[in-house]
Each structure stands twice: as C-alpha cells, then as structure tokens.
Amino acid sequence: MAAPGLQKSTMLGRVTGLVLACGVLVVSGCGGGHVYHASKLPPDLLFSAKENVQTVDLSRLASPAVSNQLIDKGDVLEVTVETGYGTEKPIPSLVRVGEDGSAMIPLVGRIPLAGMESEAAEKAIVAMAVERGVYRNPNVTVEMKRQRTNKITVVGAVDKPDTYELPRASSSVLAAIMAAGGLTRHAGIEVEIRRPARSAVAATEPAGPALTPAESENQQASFRERVGSQGRPASSMKINLVEAARQANGGPPLDDGDVVRVEVMDEEPIHVIGLITKPGEFELPANQDLRVLDAVALAGGVSTPWADKIHLVRRMPGRDAPVVIEISIKDAKRKGQGNLRLGAGDVVSIEQTPLTICMNTLQNFAHFSVGAAIPLP
C-alpha cells in the first residue's frame, strides 16, 4: 500500500491536472456553426405577442338587439278578420310572410308586414281592407304562429359541435358560438363562414299551411327572383374575432344552411432538454405568453448550478433550416436579456459547456477520492 504522503501527493497531482485541463477548455471553448446571440437578434427571429381569443370580450360581437316580436320573412301568422256581418265565428287563416316581406291576406290581397309588430300589422290590414273597399270597419287580430329559423351548423373549436336552429332575427356568429356551448381552450382567432351553393331548382321556399296554389306560386316566384335564376354560388368569408371585437362588429347575419367553423389551434408543444431536472415537452398556454425562463421552471430548473448557456432552436417560416439562438441564463434573470417569448415547436436546450463538464468531473472525482480514501476494515 502506498504511503499516506505519496497517496496525498498523487491525489493533489490529479486534481491539479484536472483544473489545468478545465482552464484550457474554458478559455478555448467549443467550436461550432453560426449561432445568433440574444443581444444581437434580428427582429424577424422574434415572436410577437399572440392574439388570443380567450381574452376577448365576445359580448362585443353581439348584433344590435332586434325584437323577437317583429314579423319577418318566412314567419307564419294567424290572421283573423271579424267583419260583424252575420253571427258565425270568424275562421282564422294561416299566412306566410314571403321573401319580399309581404303576406297574402284572404280577400284583402298582398300587404307588406315585415318589420312590424302584431298591433301595427293589424292596423295595416284594416287600413288596406278599407282602402280597397273589401270591408268597412273590420276587426283584425294577428298572432305569431311560427317564426322562421335558420339551421346553422357549428364545427371546430366549440364545446358542442352540431346543427342548431336560431331565430332568423338573431342569427349571428356570436349566437351560433353560444348555441354550441362557447369556445374551447384550443380555439383560434379566426372564424370561417361557409355558405353552400343553392341551385335554381333548390331555390324554393316551402309554401306553408293554408296557402292556395296561386299564393304559393307567387311566393315561390318572389323567392326565385331574389336568389336569381341561376341560384346562389357557394361562398366563404373569414372573421378575425379579436379584430371584430375591437370594432364591435360581429360580421354579417347568418343565413339558413350556413356553416360556422371556429379555427382549432393545435399547436406543437415546446421541448426542454439538456441539463434540466425534468426534460420533456410542454403545451403552450392558451391565455398567456411563455418565455424561456418559464420553460426552464416548468421543467424543474437546471440539473447543475453551473449551467448557464441555453440554445433556443427555432423553426421560422421561409427558412430551410432551424436557427439557433444563444441565451445566458444569468443575463435573462438579471437584465431580462434573452428571456424570449416562445412559439410553437421551439426547443430549449440547456447546453453542456467546458465549465459544466469540468465542475461535474471535479465533483465526481472528489466523491470518488473520498470514498477511496476510506480504509477498508
């Protein structure tokens, strides 16, 4: 067995050799390709704060309030005309408001009623009956029998995708989203409204109850005239919910058969690797920014106290290869420099450096030497 003095001298020599080797590594550093430094980063490599629909006041998308009592195109009304002639009880008639906003009242003729409430419609029918010499002083009642609804299909990032019937007067993007249970946490900021094509043959309106063939044909002709002899081509438009909320503009009213598709943000997670306690992938939060130091914290912090260099690997549109951005943890903590906003698919790699290699080697050597110096019984 070597003498204690010799053993101590040998250990000191090894430690000295390791320290000198570490010094050379720290001074020389490691070679490699071009990397960008956080302090001199081109603006096109930065991610701006993302617009998020979760923070938007969706109530600003609401359309101006419209009374549900207003008569509208396609509504079915029950009209009763009491003349006072005879003792028989008047028989109510069911009439439908056509696409031109008028309804065919038995014996009286066609009268514009759209946009009126029941009381105003009654007065209009009375006035027209007297003017046309049909009745002298009739008593007219108008009741809403069935309001026309629009069937709207809602798909994408909503809680309950399905087809819903919405009152025609309040068929808006907001009403469709609310009917579908609201937005999910993966909803994007864009909504697409798809309006299917309607052929000339299909462009017919149900006649409804209690309409004579002549009245039905008049309404169908009016409807075909509105949609055109060639029908209606398919169309599509997109609405930015964030911008629409800023402008308090919920977009155009929806039509029967429209499809509302809410964008789904299925973003790629970020990855944290290297000298980290719990390496793995992490989902970007929907309602706030995630920065470099946040990602390090999510992964449990660095696994060695000497780790300071981060390589942020980022794929950018228009670039064939990913870019590498070098960040100092110390600078990010002290000055905020390099604490960059992360985007989908970013890789945060806590790198080995000459210092971490040497310090970990010294630490392991010290543990080994202490263990070896303990004499066996």
H/E/C letters for each residue in the chain?
A: CCCHHHHHHHHHHHHHHHHHHHHHHHHHCCCCCCCEEHHHCCHHHCCCCCCCHHHCCHHHHCCCCCCCCCCCCCCEEEEEEECCCCCCCCCCEEEECCCCCEEEECCCEEEECCCCCHHHHHHHHHHHHHHCCCCCCCEEEEEEEECCEEEEEEEECECCCEEEEEEHHHCCHHHHHHHCCCECCCEEEEEEEEECCECCCCCCCCCCCCCCHHHHHHHHHHHHHHHCCCCECCEEEEEEHHHHHHCCCCCCCCCCCCEEEEEECCCCCEEEEECECCCEEECCCCCCCCEHHHHHHHCCCECCCCCCEEEEEECCCCCCCCEEEEEEHHHHHHCCCCCCECCCCCEEEECCCHHHHHHHHHHHHHHHHHHHHCCCC
pLDDT in tens, 109-155: 999 999 899 999 999 999 999 999 888 889 999 999 988 889 999 99
Looking at every residue in the chain, the average pLDDT score rounds to 79
Above pLDDT 70, what percent of the chain? 74
pLDDT attached to residue 27: 41
Model confidence at 363, in pLDDT bands (50, 70, 90)? confident
pLDDT attached to residue 344: 87
Residue 201 has pLDDT above 60, yes or no: no
pLDDT attached to residue 367: 59
Residue 226 has pLDDT above 60, yes or no: no
Q: What is the mean pLDDT of residues 69-98?
A: 85
Residue 103 has pLDDT above 70, yes or no: yes
pLDDT attached to residue 179: 93
Residue 19 has pLDDT above 50, yes or no: no
Which of 94-108, 143-157, 183-197, 357-371 has the least mean pLDDT? 357-371
pLDDT in tens, 232-286: 688 889 988 888 888 877 788 898 999 999 988 777 899 999 999 999 999 888 6
pLDDT in tens, 264-278: 877 789 999 999 999
- 127 vs 169, residue with greater confidence: 127
Domains and CATH numbers, the chain: 31-49+268-356 (3.10.560.10), 55-65+150-212+228-264 (3.10.560.10), 76-146 (3.30.1950.10)
Model confidence at 368, in pLDDT bands (50, 70, 90)? low
pLDDT attached to residue 294: 94
Select from 135, 84, 69 the least CA-distant residue to 106.
135
What's at 361, amino acid-wise? T
Select from 348, 233, 372 the least CA-distant residue to 294.
348
pLDDT attached to residue 369: 54
